[in-house]
Structures are given as C-alpha cells and as structure tokens.
Structure 1
C-alpha cells in the first residue's frame, strides 16, 4: 500500500508540473498544433520510438555479456524494454529501474545480484558519457548566442562524468570499505523482510568484491564498452530524429544537429523520484529545444508531449508485456 501511495503521489506531482507547463504555453494552442500533425509524421514517430527501444537492446546485450555468457539478442531487447517499463511504474523514478532489473538479470544469467548491478552500473555510466561527449563536440560546432548556456551545461556534464570515473579508480578500495560499512545494516534490515538476503558483514563484503570484479572486467573487453557507447549514440540519434520529424510536421523545420545536442540533457531529471520523471523531463527537454532551435514555446511543448505520449504508451504496453515474461527467482531457490 505504501508503494502504491508513493506511485500515485509521484504521478500527481509530475502530472501537475506537466499541466502547469502546458498551461503556461497555452493548452488550447498545444491541442490546435497537435491536430495539424500529418498522419505520416505520427507513423514515423511510432516507428522511431519502437526503433529506439530496440536499439537499447544493443547496449544491454553488451553489458550483460560477461555474466555467464549473457543473453541472446532477442532476450536482450526484451530486458531493455522491460527496463523502460520499470522506469515508468517505479515509485522512486527512473533511477531505480536498474536495481530492479538486476534481480531479473541475475536469475536469467545464473549469477549474483551484485554482479548484475555492477555490469549495469558500468553500462549506465558509459552510455551517459558517450552521449554527453557527442553532444559537447557537436555543440561546440553548432551552438551560438543564447544557446551557449546549454553548451556550458554539457561541458560541466563531461567534467562531472570524468570526475566520477577518476574518483572511482583513485579511491576504489576506500569506496568498497565504505560500501560494506553502509550496506551491512541495510542488508540486515532487508533480510527481515526478504528471505535469502545475506545480512552478515562477510557476505556483504563478498558481494561488494564481486561487484567490483565485474566492473573491472570491462577494462579487458573494450569491444563491449564500444558497443554500449554505439548503442547509446544510436538511441540519441533516433530520439533526435523523432523530435525533428515532429517539429517539421508542425511547420517549423529546423536543423537536426541542435536537437541532437540537447537529447541527453533531460536525463538529469532521473534524479527526481517521480515515475517516468514526469514533468521534470518534459520541462527540461521543451526548454532546451526552445533555446537551441529557436522554435516557439508552444511548438516545442507540442512536439515534446507528442513524443512523450508515444514513448510512455510504448513503454507501458510492450515494455509491460516484456516485464511480465521475466522471472525473478530460480526454481528451487
């Protein structure tokens, strides 16, 4: 019941923010603009959203490859789409989907939860780093004037990502000891509710060591890291193509590259503990499009709402079906 209340409260808060955003630019104007979108553009939007979901499976396949041979390509796409579903329905927001998915990954690959969480953590970091780096490089070439603020944000993102990597390498041992100290009482509390969770310090330390060993494996497998990066960049291109298609269909053709630049920026909204980052993601993306492309606020809002409606519907329907087919425990365990 507590999780249900949190979910409903999150949807209410995020939905309220989204309604305020729509009201500020004009709900009637958004509806009028949306009605002008040609059927071909809506069809292209659906195809691009589906393609983006499938492309997520590339990085997923590469990230879980070290775990007992990993998953086949089709199941990797299934797991990636299921992750999108948990992004939407998790009361804690999109940032909590990887801890949820790690349980299913560990069962499917016959490995430990901490190992699954380790490889998925690497995938999230590498994917974000690749997208932000691409946006920064392209942004230097195409952003001018008022859009310079977006470029500064991207550069700050690159610095932050690099800093996290340097700190993780430099003080990895200390972080591991700190993690054991923090997670031991947490595991003890969880073990009272979830059977089979190791609560003693030695077992927690072993789980942390396995987490670190899986992370370190990617240092010897650069091809997998490259695939994760390429998968993330393909997703970025497809999202940008969807937004560009909508803006063109709304009668405001703009350059493609400025849209490509802003795609990673709304990912900052994943820190907001609201299902699907509702409201926060839309505000960030709409505002960034206005700054970088120069389109009117109502046009940007219409494109963002059409894109988000399609992607959320796909995530809930197809992603929900994929999630329903997952197994969260091993027979006999």
Structure 2
C-alpha cells in the first residue's frame, strides 16, 4: 500500500509540473506537424485521461514494466539497470569512507573533550556540514585534476579502457572478480575524487553525531562504575560507550546512505558520473514522465529498504530492542 501511495503522489506531482513533454521531446519541425504530435501522444498514452493513464501505469507496474523512456527510447527498467550500479558504487565508497573517518573523529573528539583535539575536530566537522557540496566539487576538480593532475576528472574509467565483463555493474567488483587489475586500479582512481567530495558532508555530520552520542552515554552511572573498577579508558570507550552510542549514528548513516543512493545530481554532473542523479536530471529537463516516475519509485524503495535495515541493526547492537 505504501508503494501504491507513492506511485499516486509521484504521478500527480509529475503531471502538475508546468510544461509539455511533447514540446520537450520533439523538435520544432515535428511540433508543427499535427500527425507527429498525435503519434507521440498516442505512443506514450498522453492522449488518454489522467485516471486512465494512472491505472494503465499501475497495470504495467504489476508486470514489472516501468514504461518506455521518452529520451532514450528504451525501457525505463533497462535504463535504471544501467545507471543504478554506478550510483551504488559511488555511494558505497562515500558511506564507507564517511563511517571510518566520521566515527573515528567523533570517538577522538569525545575522548579529548574540551581539549585541543576536540576543538580542532569540531571546527573541521562544522566546515564539512557548512560548505556547499557543489562548491567543494568544483574546488576539488580544479585543484586535484586541473592544477595538480593527481586524480582523473570524470567518468568511471579512462577513455581508452573498456568496461569490465558485466557481472554486478560495479566496475571495481567486476574487475576484481575477473582479475582485470588495470581496470580495477583505474576504477578506484576515478572513484576517489567524487567519492571524497560526497563524503565531506557526511563525515562532518557523523563526527558531530558520534561525539554528541558518546558524551551523553559517558554521563551514565555504569560508565562511571566501569572507570571506578579500574578498566582502561580505551576499554571503557570502545566497549561501554561506543556500542550504545552507535544507535543514533546508524540512524544518521542510514539516512545519509539513502540520500547518496537516491542520486547526487550536482556531483554526478560535475564529474560526468553516469548514475541515477544524472539520469534524473536529464529526465526532468526533458519532461520524460516515465523516467521521472521510475526514478521516484527507485528513491522510495531505497528509503523503505534502508529504514528496514536500520531497524534490524538496532536489535543487533542493543539486545534490549530485539523483538521476541
């Protein structure tokens, strides 16, 4: 029922957007030909009333048909199968990097509360959540690619290289599985720049949440008791403080990962990354209604699944939350 409600909202909002998909997809010459306009409307069902269009879309959806894209003239599901793995690969790199750095800095800041490491980390995290992502992307592109040439500037592979044998669509995984080491190295180098740009904001957010959660836990009586027993400070922090503090951290990380998977439009366009964000952008510009609906359903499914995963992880971290 939730997905059906999402399809209804997405369908209504999509069709309320000002603009004519016929004018956006046909050239000026074709627009002056009534027969071409009528054929386009009939091909994509735009000549039918909106309730009929919606019911027809639901019927196709039940059979796994998301419609035909007006810009690529392919099945929307085929387009998503092509673009989703690129976004998944980028999002996984960004969220793993963010968790390692963000949680690590948050632990360090909490352990050295109100001392110079804490002040320095808080300034860095504040900068990470304050700077616009597109500005960070442009600065990183200019410095690391254009000026210094340390990292590639765009795409998933070097122009002279061919994509690895398809298995998952994730170039790093496919190249690793098939032993294509040169492709693996190239795919990793292309991941670093956009992945780090995406990770900057998430690192700052996770650092602040980890620090705040750990400081709240440190005030509990059982933490004081652990210290009075003579346990090493490292053991107190990692075993008695960090684990309960991870509840809020995982919640934020899950939402951040869903946000990354739902399409990072600006970063993908700046770095020419062929992912869902770039596909969604071109779909919106061209008023490609089936593609917009497909992307909306994908985003909704991502949030539903990740919220479920986060709820299940609560029970793994804290046995008190587990349901009998």
* Structure with the larger RCO, 1 or 2 (CA within 8 Å, 6+ apart): 1
Larger Rg: 2
Q: Which has the higher helix share?
A: 1
| TM-score, with length taken from structure 2 | 0.29
| TM-score, with length taken from structure 1 | 0.29
